[in-house]
Amino acid sequence: MYISRHMTKNPITISPAMFLPEARSLLNDYQFRHLPVVDDQGVLVGMLTDRDLRSAFPSSVLSDSERTLVYEKVEKTEVSEVMSTESISLTPDSTLDDALYLFDRDQVGALPVLEDGQVVGIFSIRDLTAAYKLSFGVGEKGAVLIGLDDDGSETILTRLVTLLEKEKIPFSRILRIPNEEDGSAIYIRVNTFKIAGVLEFLKDNGFSVRRFS
């Protein structure tokens, strides 16, 4: 669950001296929302977002003459004047959990990935969603998520895994999640088209099934 596996490698970067219309064309052409800004040595100096550009370009409520004046200024404005310079970053060895924490804390949509000060990737919220989808087996053929009551015993996971393996029931993920309000639960991702038989087997062996989907 490391960033290096899920990031976009070798992303397009721009110079702080690039003019804003050219930067906007790049965002539109490639349907990006974030562009790392690097100096001549490839070192990150900032991030430019579509929000930065929207703030710089004229508003639709302005008159034609006012819009023309703003456009004339924008055409001569460099990226360095509107980019964010206090950008946080990840490394290839950062985890998905690290990224999730930073996205939530700083309310950003993407993070540059740095190695020895050089931009080697970019990691977005969309990348994070895809990574967790892959990690938790969402959408896998025949995959069913089963929720079980957790009785709090120290051996419940061992007992559950042993039973599944003994019965040759294929499963790929297992999570134990504490919850003070609804009670702790165990979730298993089972890969089978015979879910009724699996549920019956679990109940017969003392497990209380909460739900499945």
| Secondary structure class of 121 (helix, strand, coil) | strand
Can you tell me which residue has the tokens 């070192």? 43
Q: Is the pLDDT of residue 182 over 80?
A: no
Residues 6+ apart with CB under 8 A from 79: 14, 15, 16, 17, 18, 19, 20, 23, 37, 46, 48
* pTM value surpassing 0.85: no
Determine the pLDDT at residue 134: 87
Complete domains list, the chain, with CATH? 3-133 (3.10.580.10), 138-212 (3.30.70.260)
Query: Could you tell me what percent of the chain has a pLDDT over 70?
Result: 93
Q: Average pLDDT in the 96-102 region? A: 96
Distance (Å) of CA 110 to CA 123, 125, 185: 5, 6, 32
Contact 69, 57 (CB under 8 A): no
Per cent of the chain over pLDDT 90 is 61
pLDDT surpasses 70 at 57: yes
| Predicted pLDDT at 90 | 97
- pLDDT value at position 62? 61
Q: Predicted confidence band at 180 (pLDDT cuts at 50, 70, 90)? A: low
- Residues with Cβ within 8 Å of 3's Cβ and at least 6 positions away in sequence, in order, are 90, 91, 92, 93, 94, 95, 96, 98, 99, 113, 121, 123
Q: Is the pLDDT of residue 47 over 70?
A: yes
pLDDT at 191: 87
The bridge status of strand 185-191 relative to strand 143-149 is: antiparallel
3-state helix, strand, coil in the chain (%, to 5): 35, 30, 35
Write down the pLDDT at residue 58. 63
Amino acid sitting at position 139? G
- What does the pLDDT look like over 18-34, one tens digit per residue? 999 999 999 999 988 99
Per-residue confidence (pLDDT) for residue 158, from 0 to 100: 94
Average pLDDT over residues 59-77: 72
pLDDT value, residue 193: 83
Question: Cα–Cα distance between 210 and 198 in angstroms, integer?
Answer: 14
User: What is the residue-averaged pLDDT of the chain?
Assistant: 89
Instruction: Dump pLDDT digits (tens) for 106-151.
Output: 999 999 999 988 999 999 999 999 998 888 878 777 788 999 999 8
